[in-house]
Every structure is written in structure tokens, then in C-alpha cells.
A = this chain, B = another copy of it.
């Protein structure tokens, strides 16, 4: 069944969806503790759940507080980690409770896809190729030579440039700009007001001025990538800036020209990656981190919040600070820093004592 029909069905049904606790446990491949016949009508947080809804207990921060809140919750059941203690409510237990939450959210809140197909106020060039079951929202623009694969959803006022391609079932949110010649894979999400394919920042000094180096490359985004709101990814000077399959990018991240990001990387908000840098697969850049240009960050590496990578980093490292160093070293330095003022005082005292003896 093509995605479009599936979505339409869900949209119509969504307001009155219910499922038994037993079926829900099956859907998320969890073990049920409680009555399988209980009807579940929605999913909500511990404090906001209404009677008949299922809620969610994570193994994360503030766990004991969540446990306490759960005692007062009006929820009918709870999705919980296998290792959670005995609970008053019926529960579905999973190794990864978040996976159960995803399944419940997907069931009760399927994508609410509009029925209009290509909206009459959208401008779609007659020289663009648009697949089956594509949605193009109000005042969106699809330029000549663009290719929109089946099931893609181009939201209101989004922009798809000339000779740009958008993969199957990819969603481009309102106001996102996918500029000339860029390629977005299948199953991607580009959030509102993101810009893919802006010019790289390249100039050369000439007669006392900065002469622009034309940026004639593009950006290639592989499959299943998510790109946050107001992210900017610059096109390559020549060749391609590339984002590997499965990579997830948070809001307001800047990725410069000719950067190569590997597969399944995680790039948190407000990160800046300088030109020609390589992130190998499974790299995590925490919030507000940065890199200088032309460095390689080895696969599986984590750069902790605010870190700045100034040199190549070995695979599977955990680095932090500016310049980045092994996280344990940075922690020792930060701890030592808090003792610095008293240490200076001590050194002055020692200096006096020792100098006196010298006399």
C-alpha cells in the first residue's frame, strides 16, 4: 500500500483510535503485566495522562521523581523499562522503553497529511518531474528541472531549486530552501527555514579586496537524514558537501562547504563545522561544539558540549574543551581550575617562606 493512501486512512481515523493493551504490547514487542483487554485511547506524559491513556516511564534523569509522579497519575497503563520496580499500574515492559513510546506515538498520532496534493497556489514548473502521491503546499515553489519522488511532501512556502532532487517520502517543512542542484535522499526530514546549498564562504585576496570564489558544487543528503530548523549546509566549492545516511542534525547547525559527514552521526544544536572537515560514521557533536577546517574526526567519537576540535581525532575518542583533549584530562583541568586562586596564594606563601630561608 503506497504511503499516501496509508496516511489518508490514518488522518480520517485518528480522532477515535483505540487499541487493547494486549495489541499495543504486541505492536511494541513488549511483555505485558496486566489485563490484555484494557482499552487504550491515547498516550501522554505521566502528569498529563487522562483516564484511558497509556503513559511512559523512562530510565533517565529524575527517575525517582517520575516513579513518585506515577503513583498519582490518572493513566490506565504505563510503558516501562524491564528493570523498573513493580508498579501499581498495568505495564508493558521493554528493554528499551523509548522504543515502546515510539510505537505508541506512531499509532495514536500518525502523520496528518493534507489531501490537496499539489495546492493550487503552489508554483510547480512545468519542467519539474513530480511523482505519485506528492504533496506541495500553498505558495511552495518547485523550479524547472527539479525531481520530486513519490510520496514526498513539500510544505507551504518551501523552495525546491532548479535541478534539485527530493527522494521518496521525504518531507520538506515550510520555508526550507533546497537550492539549485542539491540532492536529498529518501525518508529525510528537513525542518522549517533550513537552507541546503547556500554558497560556501570562499574568497581570495585580490587588489586589497576579497574576491568571491564561485561555489559551483552542491550538497548531497543521503537517506533517512533529519535536518533541524534554521540549519545551513553550504554547497561545495567544487564537488559535494555530503551528509551520510541516518545522520540527525538539530536546529541552527552550520555545516561549511566540502564537509563530509558520515553515517548515523548526531549533531546537536548550534554546532559549527568548518570547511572540508570530515566526520566519520557515528560521530556525536554535542551542543555548541565546533571544528576548525580540514580535520578528520574518527568514527564513534564524541565531542562533549562546547568543545572545539582543532586537530584530527582518533576513532572512538571522547574529547572536550578548547582545544579538544581527552575528556578525563579536561575534567581534571576544570577541577584544578576551581582550586587555582587558592593555589596561587599558597605559591606566594611558599615563595616567601623559601626566600626568607635563602637569605
Residues of A within 8 A of B (CB): 43-45, 48, 56, 60-62, 96, 98-99, 101-102, 105-106, 108-109, 112, 119, 121, 123, 137-139, 141, 143, 156-157, 159, 161-162, 173-175, 177, 179-180, 189, 191-193, 195, 198-199, 201, 203-206, 208-214, 216, 224, 226, 228-230, 232, 234, 238-239, 246, 248, 250-252, 254, 256, 264, 266, 268-270, 272, 274, 287-288, 290, 292-294, 305-306, 308, 322-323, 325, 329, 332-341, 343-344, 346-347, 350-351, 353-354, 357-358
Contact = CB atoms under 8 A, between A and B. Distances in A.
A62 B308 CA distance: 20
A290 B264 contact: no
Contacts of A333: 337-338, 340-341
A162 B340 CA distance: 56
A173 B161 CA distance: 11
A351 to B, nearest CB: 6
Contacts of A191: 195, 198-199
Given A195-B229, A290-B288, A266 B351 contact: no
B290 A290 contact: no
Nearest to A335: B341
A175 B109 CA distance: 27
Contacts of A173: 177, 179, 198
A254 B232 contact: no
Contact of A350 (B193, B292, B350): B350
A331 to B, nearest CB: 10
The complex is assembled from copies of this chain, and their number is 3
Given A121-B123, A238-B45, A272-B287, A228 B206 contact: no
Contacts of A108: 216
Contact of A232 (B251, B268, B358): B251
A214 B94 CA distance: 18
Contact of A254 (B102, B238, B246, B251): B251
A269 B268 contact: no
